[in-house]
Structure 1
Amino acid sequence: MKSLILYDSMGGNTALVAETIEKALGARAMATDLVKVDKDLDIDVFDYDLVFIGSPVIDWLPTKPLMDFVKRKMKAYARQGVVKPSSPLLPGKFGVSFGTFAGPHIGEKEALPMTMWLNSFLEHLGYAALDQWLVVGRHHHNKEINLSGRLGNIEDRPNAADLAVVEHKVGGLVDSLSAWCA
């Protein structure tokens, strides 16, 4: 099973999560590509069986570079006839969306639309979107939010405990897929 971790990161929080996913996949000897999106990225998502796609939350959505990539790929795949009506599931294709958020307003609820948007992309391609993972990260532009937001003190987030949860989730996911796909 070949995996892709496609992400964008602005302050480093999401990069830490993406690198943790890569480390956990590597520990299970999975072939993995870790790719930070940019405006010129041309990668075929269908080359991968397991896709992790993630971003920091910006106004309830992914970053503009990641959204632009998704829109570009959707148009290209539609032109190629790969995106099918009713989005039938493709055997052996799975995905997980992930994101980081600082929670200056309403916390995790504010992040859910972003991961749902990314899961919709995966599902339109025929991937089974298995989960959406959200991780608290420090706010890089407003120290007050780090200390007094709804989530309490998030200065050191994502921390070792947060990243250990991500590693555990990756392990459980890979073990489940290995058993299910055997």
Structure 2
Amino acid sequence: MKSLILYDSMGGNTAMVAETIQHALTAKSMAPNLVKVDKELSIDLFDYDLVFIGSPVIDWLPTKTLMDFVKRKMKEYNNQGRVTPSSPLIPGKFGISFGTYAGPHIGEKEARPMTMWLDSFLEHLGYAALDQWLVVGKHHHKPDINRNGRLGNIEDRPNTTDLSAIENRVTGLVDSLIAWN
């Protein structure tokens, strides 16, 4: 199963999650492609059976860089006729959206629109969007919020417990997909 971890990261939180996913996939004898999105990225998502796509939450959505990439790919795939009406699922194509969010916010509820947006992208391509993984991360631009926000002290997040949970989710996902096939 060919896998891709496509992400953007601004302060390093989302990169830590992406790297943890890469480590867990590698431990399951998969050779994932870890790619940080940029304006010049040219990649065919249809080359991959399992796609992880993630971003920090910025105003309830992914970063502008990732949103621009998604919009560009949708236009490209639409022009190629690869996005079809009713978005039928393509057998053997699966996706997970993931994101990180910080302390001044209201928690996961505020982060879900971002992963739902990414899920919609995956599903328009015909991928079965299996889950949304959200992880608390420290706020890099307003350090005082890390101690005083609604989420409590998040100065060291994502921490080893958070990343271990992601690793366990990856392991369980891969085991389930292998058993299913």
Which TM-score applies when normalising by structure 1? Answer: 0.99
The C-alpha deviation readout for 1:126-156, integer Å capped at 9, x for no partner, is 0000000000000001112100111100000
Residue identity opposite 1:67 in structure 2: M
Runs of 4+ in 1 over 6 A off after TM superposition: none
CA distance in 1, matches of 2:32, 2:23: 9
1:103 shift after superposition:
3.3
Shift of 1:105: 2.3
RMSD (CA atoms): 0.5
Amino acid at match of 2:63: T
SS at match of 2:97: strand
Equivalenced residue count is 181
**For residues 104 and 83 of structure 1, what CA distance do their matches in structure 2 show?**
38
Alignment of 1:139-158 (within 5 A): 139-158=139-158
Q: Map residues 13-162 of structure 1 onto 2, 5 A cutoff.
A: 13-162=13-162
> Is residue 3 of structure 1 aligned with residue 3 of structure 2?
yes
Query: Contact between 2:57 and 2:99, CA under 8 Å: does it hold in 1?
Result: yes
Q: Name the amino acid aligned to 2:165.
A: V
* Structure 2 segments unaligned to the other structure (5+ residues): none
Pairwise CA distance, 1:9: 0.1
Residue 23 of structure 1 aligns with an amino acid whose one-letter code is H
Q: CA deviation at 1:171?
A: 0.3
1:55 is paired with a residue of what secondary structure?
Answer: strand
Contact 2:5 2:18 in 1 (8 A): yes
Structure 1: how far apart are the matches of 2:161 and 2:31?
25
1:90-149 deviation digits (Å, cap 9, x = unpaired):
000000000000031211111000000000000000000000000000000111210011
1:115 alignment partner AA: T
C-alpha separation between the residues in 2 aligned to 1:103 and 1:44? 35
CA distance in 2 between partners of 1:91 and 1:109 (Å): 31
CA apart distance, 1:31: 2.0
Helix, strand or coil for the counterpart of 1:143? coil
Range with greater deviation from structure 2 (142-151 or 10-19): 142-151
SS at match of 2:105: coil
Q: Among the aligned pairs, what percent are the same residue?
A: 79
TM-score, structure 2 normalization: 0.99
Q: Does the 8 A contact of 1:103 with 1:110 survive in 2? A: no
Distance across 1 between alignment mates of 2:31 and 2:142: 38
Task: List runs of 5+ in structure 1 lacking aligned partners.
Answer: none
